[in-house]
Structure 1
Amino acid sequence: MGDIAKGVLGGGWSLVVGWVLPSAINLAVLFLAVAPQLRGDLGPLDRLWPASGADTALLLLVGAALLGLVLNALQTLLYRFLEGYVLWPAWAYDHGCRVQRARRQRIRERLAQPDPRLSPIRVGVLHERAERYPHRDEQVGPTRLANAIRRFEEYGHDRFRLDTQVLWNELMAAVPAQTGRAAETSRTNVDFFVALLYGHAGVAVAALAALPVAEDRALLLSATVLLGALVPLWYRSAVVATDEWAAAVRALVNLGRKPLATALGLELPQELAEERRMWQLVTRMSRRPYHPAAEEAFAPYRAAPAEPCALRGPCERGGRNAS
């Protein structure tokens, strides 16, 4: 039973911490600051208002769980909006890319010509900021979060031509269990701040909408200002939290290449240039329809089949031992 409980909690840890917990925080703020100002103005919904503290806690728990599940299901859309890939007009996307390229260039210039007045700690912070950008200009996105994520999305392809976006499931199935768990849970902190950001923005909008009928407008204005001021902080925290996520993906690529090649029936070449060519072929094979030319292209990398005697010998010994 202990192992079963550990497995359930381990599998749901990212969901609980990343989406349910911030949903509970946001709903608690909504219940304490906004909802009491609307009592008597909600119509039929007033009948659903909890009559006791225990009922309120139960409603908060159920609401947080449901909202967390919904946000988890919508996480791709939520991330892509913050990254600038969804619902951004073309002019805003292009402007954001120009701003981010200029910001990256300024950081690189400061590192190339260091100011002697900067302490080693400040220089280290600049290096961290520089590392949150992809290396190639064409990979730079319109927001800081987009670039912080793109830097490790392109890591496998930039170093080895191994596209982790295409081969993610294969990598996760081939790597050691500990490395896979680290890659799965490393984004939990980023999820937490993203969910907190959206929730604070939603509660702030609800507080503004409730102002015309609220009894304590000063409370709602204070809540709106405070929540609005925290939104940029949570965004910045999400960007910084991608560092652990990036390290986990880097380890996934570095440690997972060899077992992935073995699982695919391939041998990892000794020369880096040949390895890059092999992974490029694997990526193309996964993305494009099959072409007969792949037979000849993959031939140098296909692992030799095991010798029949090597397979038959242990089986025969095992059979004799068993008898």
Structure 2
Amino acid sequence: MGDIAKGALGGAWTLLVGWILPTALNLAVFHLAVAPSLRGLSAFDRLRYAVAVPTGLAMLTGTLLLGLVANACQNSLYRLLEGYLLWPARAYDAGCRRSRRVKDHLANRLTVLRLERRHREEGALQPEASEQLARLLAQPRIARVAGQDRRRRTAVQRALLQERLGRFPIADDQIAPTRLGNAIRRFEEYGWDRYRLDTQLLWNELTGCVPDQVRRQVDLARASVDFFVALLFGHIVVCALAALALVTDRPDTPLAVSTIAVLAALVPVWYRSAVTATDEWAAAVRALVNTGRKPLADSLGLDLPRTLAAERDMWAMVSRLSRIPYHERAAALDPYRASPPSAPE
């Protein structure tokens, strides 16, 4: 019973922090800054009179209902910010091209810093490395920032550059058109890139067999990103309602305009905060994959191979078996099946 209560409270905590709390903040801003100007709007007045309850109870009920609705729509909200939903093809392609340019630029800057450091420490570079450095410095954009990097980039600042580069997927064909899409896609591809384990396909199996602490870390890390995503979309809705308030009979124009300006300025801040918060989420998913492979193999009736190459082959076949209809070639998975337990004598 204690474990059941702990699990229920854990799920409620992530829902509370990720979706209900930011909804409450946005409703408070709406109530204080926008609602007074909407009282002349017939639809708003009818709704206010129909819900004849104290303001505090109405706020609490509205927060819970809207928070639950936002939680139910989270996949669509994330896909919109990641660039997968409602994005025109041209905008999607342009975003992907821009993301590749940014990724290549960061990688080239770090390569220049690394090669120049090796040159200082060793006195000379191998011909291939020297040619690569010269080729990079021949690019005007790289040459311009390279001088700034030499003067200003400390070890910590170089680590921050590496952190920014780490928010992109390894494979270029996995690049997304937005920063949040790339930051999430990098750990979605982690299991496949390292072990050929498709974590998106086998997510329920993987999370169902790992220790509770590991699964809890993933949930808590995602709750931080959920918080900023919910806050961001809530600000957009409040901005739209504040713009609607400007066309009512008696609007508080200075307050409505100030609300729109402040919330519009905060939207990119929350978006950037969501991107940064994915770092902890990525670390939790990485731990989930690294520590969950063995329990997952055991739960599927498989023996984890001794070599990494054989393990990658095994997970590729498991992922393929889960993704496509059965084919006779799936029998290649038989050598990895665990031996049945021997009957007691």
Q: Same fold (TM over 0.5)?
A: yes
Task: Map residues 192-211 of structure 1 onto 2, 5 A cutoff.
Answer: 192-211=227-246
CA contact (8 A) 1:190 1:238 kept: yes
**In the TM superposition, what whole-angstrom CA distance separates every residue of 1:209-261 from its partner, at most 9, and x where no partner exists?**
11022432011000000000000000000000000110011001100011111
Shift in alpha-carbon separation, 1:6–1:264, aligned structure 2, 3 A: closer
Structure 1 counterpart of 2:201, one-letter code = V
Question: What is residue 285 of structure 1 aligned with on the other side?
Answer: 321
Task: Map residues 141-220 of structure 1 onto 2, 5 A cutoff.
Answer: 141-213=176-248, 214-220=250-256
CA contact (8 A) 1:261 1:268 kept: yes
Question: What is residue 318 of structure 1 aligned with on the other side?
Answer: none
CA contact (8 A) 2:245 2:251 kept: no
Where 1:308 maps in the other structure, the secondary structure is coil
In the aligned structure 2, how far is the partner of 1:7 from the partner of 1:135?
34
CA contact (8 A) 1:40 1:46 kept: no
Shift of 1:49: 6.8
CA contact (8 A) 1:171 1:260 kept: yes
> TM-score w.r.t. structure 1 length?
0.91
Q: Provide structure 1 residue ranges, at least 5 long, that are not aligned to the other structure.
A: 313-323
Give the CA RMSD over aligned residues.
1.6
CA contact (8 A) 2:96 2:176 kept: yes
In the aligned structure 1, how far is the partner of 2:243 from the partner of 2:160?
38
Structure 1 counterpart of 2:16, one-letter code = V
Q: How many residues align?
A: 306
Question: What is residue 23 of structure 1 aligned with on the other side?
Answer: 23
Shift in alpha-carbon separation, 1:5–1:58, aligned structure 2, 3 A: farther
Structure 2 counterpart of 1:239, one-letter code = V
Where 2:255 maps in the other structure, the secondary structure is helix
Question: What is residue 315 of structure 1 aligned with on the other side?
Answer: none
Greater shift in the superposed pair: 262-271 or 37-46: 37-46
Whether 1:130 aligns to 2:172 is no
> TM-score w.r.t. structure 2 length?
0.85
Where 1:212 maps in the other structure, the secondary structure is coil
Whether 1:269 aligns to 2:290 is no
Q: Percent identity?
A: 58
In the aligned structure 2, how far is the partner of 1:36 from the partner of 1:242?
37
Structure 2 counterpart of 1:292, one-letter code = E
**In the TM superposition, what whole-angstrom CA distance separates every residue of 1:54-88 from its partner, at most 9, and x where no partner exists?**
x2111111101000110111000000000110100
Shift of 1:6: 4.1
Shift of 1:121: 2.1
**Which of 1 and 2 has higher RCO (CA within 8 Å, sep 6+)?**
2
Structure 1 counterpart of 2:286, one-letter code = R
